[in-house]
Amino acid sequence: MKYYFLLLLVFMSVSLSFSQQDSQYTQYMYNTQVINPGYIGSKDVLSFGLLYRSQWVGFEGAPKTGTFTISSPIGETKKMGIGLSIVSDQIGPAAETNIVVDYSYSLMFSEVSRLSFGVKAGVNFLDVDYTKLNIYDVNDYQFSENINNKLYPQIGAGIYYNTDKMYLGLSVPNLLNSKHYNTDNIDNISVDALAIERLHYFLIAGYVFDINENLKFKPATMIKMVDGSPLQVDISGNFLINEKFTLGAAYRFDAAITAMAGFQITNKLFIGMGYDYQTTDIETYSDGSYEVFLKFDVFKNVERILTPRFF
């Protein structure tokens, strides 16, 4: 068993070096701006968001992710939105930071329904410290020089439709296949061994059911498609109780079971957390995954405070 654990660590390190991909989120329904810039078009308030995720706690080199988002409507008609997304992602010897500006334009179909088109553009910074790895061959040229502040661009797009009861979105956060190695300096490396930023396709959807005056139920799903990886499907259900407490659960097919809870501290401030129990062999070597998030909205319209949207 110990030998299997060592092999797993090696596999994690190699996968990291050659397959750096987008971060994983359990509470994607509260972090939508990061994956779909069209979402900011649905928000008619100045909004701030913070999220921290520690994945596979207790597992050496496990992923840790932090996000910060801010968005606001612009213009008198509020058909446009602008925002900023910062994502810091660390896994093993690699640390990646994304700084992206988000913009959206909305078509209004009624007072409660709109279709928003969003784009995002920015830069990513990648650092890889190979000295943190236990390298079998210290003379291996692939690990001879660290990657320091390697910069590459990010351009993404998304479309998002919502009413006061439902939402549906499709997005690609990064349309560029950036390579994390300079092949001009590595003569013998194969194309398959390159670390390439694969295109990630996200499909999200949710609907809010009014059970009674004090109880709402929102089923939601996220489907993520990445070239060369299995299809990822997340399904979740959250209950909103007395416009204050949120309780829910989620299932990521063949990966994890999640419990979620949140509390509306004030009309402007919402805090919540989630816990993932891995349904794979990784759970044997870790204590699950944790997420905590904070959302702060600045309202200008009192009526908007009295009827908060459940997404």
What sign has the CA pseudo-torsion 77, 79, 80, 83? positive
The per-residue pLDDT for 308 is 54
Q: What percentage of the chain carries pLDDT values higher than 70? A: 80
User: For residues 307 and 291, which has the higher predicted lDDT (pLDDT)?
Assistant: 291
How distant, in Å, are the alpha carbons of 60, 160, 218, 235, 241 from that of 206? 35, 12, 7, 10, 18
Do the beta carbons of residue 58 and residue 306 sit within 8 Å?
no
Neighbours of 293 (CB within 10 A): 21
Within a domain: 5: no
256 secondary structure, DSSP code: E
Q: What is the CATH number of the domain that holds 33?
A: 2.40.160.60
Within a domain: 8: no
Within a domain: 48: yes
User: For residues 6 and 213, which has the higher predicted lDDT (pLDDT)?
Assistant: 213
What one-character-per-residue DSSP string does 58-83 give? Answer: TSTT--EEEEEEEEEEESTT--EEEE
Rounded Cα gap, residues 66 and 47, in angstroms: 17
Give burial (CB, 10 Å; 0-12/13-18/19+) of 155.
middle
The per-residue pLDDT for 261 is 96
3-class DSSP state for residue 297? strand
Within a domain: 28: yes
Do the beta carbons of residue 207 and residue 219 sit within 8 Å?
yes
What is the gyration radius of the CA atoms in the chain, in angstroms?
A: 21
Beta strand 114-128 with 94-108: parallel, antiparallel or unpaired? antiparallel
Domain count along the chain: 1
**168-196 pLDDT per residue, tens:** 999 999 998 765 554 444 444 444 444 56
3-class DSSP state for residue 136? coil
For residue 60, which phi and psi values (nearest 5 degrees)? Answer: -60, 130
Within a domain: 54: yes
User: For residues 58 and 263, which has the higher predicted lDDT (pLDDT)?
Assistant: 263
Per the structure, the complete domain to which residue 219 belongs is given by 21-179+199-299
Q: 86: pLDDT confidence band, cut at 50, 70 and 90?
A: very high
Within a domain: 193: no
Do the beta carbons of residue 87 and residue 121 sit within 8 Å?
no
Give the CA dihedral 183, 184, 189, 194, nearest 10 degrees: 0
Do the beta carbons of residue 218 and residue 206 sit within 8 Å?
yes
Do the beta carbons of residue 218 and residue 250 sit within 8 Å?
no
